[in-house]
Amino acid sequence: MRMTRYFVPVLKETPAEAQIASHRLMLRSGMVRQAAAGIYSWMPLGYRVLKRIEDIVNQEQIRAGHIPLLMPTLQSAALWRESGRYEDYGEEMLRICDRHGRDLLYGPTNEELITDIFRSHVNSYRDLPLTLYHVQWKFRDEIRPRYGVMRGREFLMKDGYNFDVDKASAIHSYNRHMVSYLRTYERMGLKAIPMRADTGPIGGDHSHEFLVLADTGESEVFFDDSILELSLGDRNIDYDCVQTCSAIMEEWTAPYSRTDETHDEALYRASVPEGRRRQSRAIEVGQIFYFGTKYSEPMGATVSDRDGRRVHVHMGSHGIGVSRLVGAIIEASHDEKGIVWPEPVTPFPVGILNLSQRDSNAEAVCQMIYGELVKKGLEPLYDDRDERAGAKFATMDLIGLPWRITVGSRSLAKGVVELSRRSDGESENIVPEHAAERIAEIYAAHF
């Protein structure tokens, strides 16, 4: 993409309403624009990141055997009356009345709707286990939307729902989700720690939240330092294997880690040596629940079991804050000059910066590198504006692409261009013909 043909409405001034780095940087780099309180338009650059995150989420869900579908944003109030949540959910639910006087709502979550789909079509234990999910906009009329996309009113969530014939099988689904979530966050270059959590309005008796450490996070967390050393790496995981998933679940939940809602100071002190106790602020980027028959009983979702008896199906639900993740990743990865995208979620893999826009040789070299990168499936962002070098560097740093190729008359006279890394400014001179190949090697692991 050539900058002169693109649309990146960068702001010069720091917007006064933004209190935290991610919100500030997303507005300044033209990633989002507020449409109403807690409701955002995703501008081209922000939309690319949102899509990257959504892609990773989808890939990991499908890898775990979960099935994508798409449910609507608007739901009938009748279903929520069946479960008893229409009244219970409170003022966070946006209630709408259509022209015929029928009550609708903009879904804050989808347990009722998916249970209705399930009960209409599934009858036997032979069709189980089943996990359906979608990535869809939610609306929660948050009393205090703030921090940009981190606490919006309209936000994008991946929400999934498992259906199992009994508790044992549902617990495997729970563990499988735990593992697939760990892998999802790891692939985004994030450290997200599972913590035992309260179940809130979703209900049930098993729940973990996934938290990213950040000073600006809204949760207070307590954990054993040793949990930070755990990683799945490139382990080959059989998601159908009960043993594999429960072993990983145990590995990650053995060290103490809880949010303030479930924190137990006495247990914390007894189970974590003093030198490993950590307390921090953190951002919730996902949560998983097992809630048994909480929805299947009032809504009559049953299947026949192996012995021909009708049993209420066991369920759980699982959410990833897709749009919140864009902010959370920035909170975890930025510096005083701007965003520092981790390679897996960057809007463009590399930026090309032309310091000598009016030099036809420099333009030709940029075009050559651009073409080679496109051929390799790595579309760069080429800053071809007729701007001062300082302004181009500042924009590139603000946008935060992980790699930059700088082309200018002076270095071309020596036969080289500069390749530099955003995270630490480390740079080296390379011949232009090798630039695309180098970038391809770097990204081979991610795309």
Per-residue CA distances from 190 to 8, 307, 315 (Å): 26, 46, 28
Q: Is 324 in the site for ligand ATP (CB under 6 A)?
A: yes
Q: How far is the CB of 263 from ligand ATP (least distance, A)?
A: 15
Alpha helices in 348-431 (DSSP H): 360-375, 389-399, 409-413
Write out the two tokens for 186: 């790891």
In the block, tokens 């499908």 appear at: 62
The site for ligand ATP, by CB under 6 A, has a size of 16
Cα(370)–Cα(23) distance, integer angstroms: 31
Q: Is 24 in the site for ligand ATP (CB under 6 A)?
A: no
Residue closest to Mg ion, measured at CB: 287
Q: How far is the CB of 66 from ligand ATP (least distance, A)?
A: 16
Can you state the angle between helices 21-28 and 322-332, rounded to 10 degrees? 100
Q: Which stretch binds ligand ATP (CB under 6 A): 251-259, 268-276, 280-288, 381-389?
A: 280-288
Q: How far is the CB of 431 from Mg ion (least distance, A)?
A: 51
Q: How far is the CB of 287 from Mg ion (least distance, A)?
A: 4
Q: Among ligand ATP, Mg ion, none, what binds residue 408 when CB lies within 5 to 8 Å by partner kind?
A: none
Closest C-alpha to 94, from 79, 115, 108: 108
Q: Is 259 in the site for Mg ion (CB under 5 A)?
A: no
Closest C-alpha to 258, from 247, 275, 272, 248: 272
Q: Is 115 in the site for Mg ion (CB under 5 A)?
A: no
Cα(307)–Cα(370) distance, integer angstroms: 64
- Nearer of residues 24 and 324 to ligand ATP, judged by Cβ: 324
Residues 398-417 that bind ligand ATP (CB under 6 A): none
From residue 282 to residue 321, what is the string marking binding to Mg ion with x (rule CB under 5 A)?
A: -----x----------------------------------
Q: Which stretch binds ligand ATP (CB under 6 A): 149-157, 240-248, 254-262, 421-429?
A: 149-157
Distance of CA 267 to the CA centre of its chain: 31
Q: How far is the CB of 371 from ligand ATP (least distance, A)?
A: 39
| Longest Cα separation, the chain | 82
Q: Is 219 in the site for Mg ion (CB under 5 A)?
A: no
- Nearer of residues 109 and 296 to ligand ATP, judged by Cβ: 109
Q: Is 151 in the site for ligand ATP (CB under 6 A)?
A: yes
- Nearer of residues 154 and 383 to ligand ATP, judged by Cβ: 154
Q: Where are the beta strands (DSSP E) in 56-107?
A: 67-68, 74-76, 94-97, 103-106
Cα(407)–Cα(305) distance, integer angstroms: 68
Q: Among Mg ion, ligand ATP, none, what binds residue 142 when CB lies within 5 to 8 Å by partner kind?
A: ligand ATP
- Nearer of residues 27 and 157 to ligand ATP, judged by Cβ: 157
Q: Which stretch binds Mg ion (CB under 5 A): 77-85, 279-287, 364-372, 417-425?
A: 279-287
Residue 340 buriedness (CB in 10 A; 0-12 / 13-18 / 19+): buried
Q: Among Mg ion, ligand ATP, none, what binds residue 155 when CB lies within 5 to 8 Å by partner kind?
A: ligand ATP
Phi and psi, residue 99, nearest 5°? -65, -20
Q: Site for ligand ATP (CB under 6 A): which residue of 321, 349, 402, 432?
A: 321
Distance of CA 274 to the CA centre of its chain: 33
Q: Are 178 and 257 in contact (CB under 8 A)?
A: no
Q: Is 285 in the site for ligand ATP (CB under 6 A)?
A: yes
Q: Which stretch binds ligand ATP (CB under 6 A): 7-15, 226-234, 321-329, 333-341?
A: 321-329
Closest C-alpha to 319, from 284, 282, 287: 287
Can you state the angle between helices 432-443 and 360-375, rounded to 10 degrees? 30
Q: How far is the CB of 202 from Mg ion (least distance, A)?
A: 8
Task: Note the residues at the interface with Mg ion (CB under 5 A).
Answer: 287
